[in-house]
Structure 1
């Protein structure tokens, strides 16, 4: 599978969920290829089942696959690492403590691996205790600059900032964006992003100077009746991206 898609050249790449291979294709076309399609490992009972199904998504979208945890579930971390070793996807979602093993198993540096860190309630600080055991312990609150360096040490590509709850942590998000820009690190805002607040959140990251932003827009653009991500909403988001980038 190719690891050199359009989105590697983009400053902004969308990340949306795909409910089926057909839904993935529709969303891929709606974003003109500037998107990765999230498929959640949590919905599969075995590694083999996940690999067999996710390969179909790869084939249909030029490997624009984003291997997901499932609502940031830390208990999926090991499975994500194992199946990604075989799949070699373009994008991997990981908890903070799962980044190193994922990179080691890939045996390459091209795949984007994010590391999940959470708002702490204090500007300039984040919670990195997002792993299977650490998420059950007292919060691990450290400066965002240190968190980024740790992710880099482990072979990570970007900060997955979750849960943002839309604009609820906007001042903290601004500090995260500035730190990512200063350290030439990618940023993936996640949680509560919708058609209404998408532009403001993305604009903050762009204004800070972040070189690559991968906003995750999930439940707000999913059809509650079918479970599909609405391609027409993906198209709207991509039009907003083009407008902001001029």
Structure 2
């Protein structure tokens, strides 16, 4: 079941949203016409075994369009993500920068998308790669974006997870990251503070830069606070925006 389906990206773009249940995952998958991965947070499970058992029905229901997630970028979930991903072989894995190599090795194949989390620094053209369990407790490790991409490639990563973006608060930095991803043939996953209000502009920046594949993460802004479900109708709206942006590119 590992690997990417031919229609995983709709001409370069797939959504990443959270799933609160198998039923919610199915509804969101349908709303995006299959161009989405559904995030399941390892942080929500007390053990590997519980996470693995719970994620397998998701795999069956949505053609393995499962994203094994940390949970708010929590570096302490890095090892659990690696172990769970190795067991279920999902289509997508969220990792901190220092966990990418371990996850790729544990997966034993090159099809699954693995992102590596890097953070804004306040300086255009650089990112912070100290996002691991220990490194995140130290001073930022600020490197040029192209260097971060090369390191991720060395470790078997396929995309930069740029987090926390805080919407467009780091717009100039995000533009530089998008350009570096395009220049170095690398995927980009903008994450943090993305909503229906700013999604189109964020996606347009990445598409205009020439990024080959983009996976925007849209989480809390489209979750129903009463039920905890991601709203399928909002996923459908996001997917319509994807089609609009790509049609005008």
TM-score, L = length of structure 2: 0.98
Match of 2:154 in 1: 153
Structure 1: give runs of 5+ residues left out of the alignment.
none
1:74-133 Cα deviation digits (max 9, x unpaired): 000000000100100000000000000000011100000000000000000100000000
Structure 2: give runs of 5+ residues left out of the alignment.
none
Task: Check if 1:27 corresponds to 2:28.
Answer: yes
Task: Check if 1:11 corresponds to 2:12.
Answer: yes
Q: Distance in 1 between matches of 2:4 and 2:220?
A: 28
Question: Is the Cα contact below 8 Å between 1:2 and 1:62 reproduced in 2?
Answer: no
Match of 1:213 in 2: 214
Q: Distance in 2 between matches of 1:10 and 1:106?
A: 26
Q: Per-residue deviation at 1:9?
A: 6.2
Query: SS at 2:132's partner residue?
Result: coil
Q: Per-residue deviation at 1:4?
A: 3.1
Query: SS at 1:220's partner residue?
Result: helix
Query: SS at 1:119's partner residue?
Result: coil
Show structure 1 runs of 4+ deviating over 2 A. Answer: none
| Superposition pairs of residues 67-86 of structure 1, within 5 angstroms | 67-86=68-87
Q: Distance in 2 between matches of 1:10 and 1:40?
A: 27
Q: Distance in 2 between matches of 1:3 and 1:100?
A: 18
Q: Per-residue deviation at 1:185?
A: 0.1
| Superposition pairs of residues 116-135 of structure 1, within 5 angstroms | 116-135=117-136
> Which deviates further from its counterpart, 176-185 or 1-10?
1-10
Match of 2:187 in 1: 186
Question: Is the Cα contact below 8 Å between 2:10 and 2:35 reproduced in 1?
Answer: no
Query: SS at 1:36's partner residue?
Result: strand
Match of 2:238 in 1: 237
Q: Distance in 2 between matches of 1:58 and 1:41?
A: 15
RMSD (Å) for aligned C-alpha atoms: 0.8
1:174-208 Cα deviation digits (max 9, x unpaired): 00000000000000000000000000000000000
Q: Distance in 1 between matches of 2:174 and 2:202?
A: 9
Match of 2:200 in 1: 199
Task: Check if 1:58 corresponds to 2:59.
Answer: yes
Question: Is the Cα contact below 8 Å between 2:182 and 2:209 reproduced in 1?
Answer: yes
